[in-house]
Amino acid sequence: MEIVFTFHNTHSAIGGEKALMNGGLKVKVMALPSDLGAGCGLCLRVEEADLSRALELLAGAGLAAEGLYRKIKAHGKFGYEALGP
* Average pLDDT taken over every residue of the chain: 92
Confidence of residue 85 (pLDDT cuts 50, 70, 90): low
Contact partners, residue 38, CB within 8 Å, separation at least 6: 32
What's the pTM?
Answer: 0.89
Confidence of residue 56 (pLDDT cuts 50, 70, 90): very high
Is 6 within 8 Å of 69 (Cβ atoms)?
yes
pLDDT of 30: 93
% the chain with pLDDT above 90: 73
Count of domains observed in the chain? 1
Q: Which of 37, 36, 40 is nearest to 71 (CA)?
A: 36
Range of the domain at 49: 2-84
Is 71 within 8 Å of 78 (Cβ atoms)?
yes
DSSP states of 38-78 as a string? -TTSEEEEEEGGGHHHHHHHHHHTT---SEEEEEEEETTEE
Give mean pLDDT, residues 52-57.
Answer: 97
CATH of the domain at 18: 3.30.70.1530
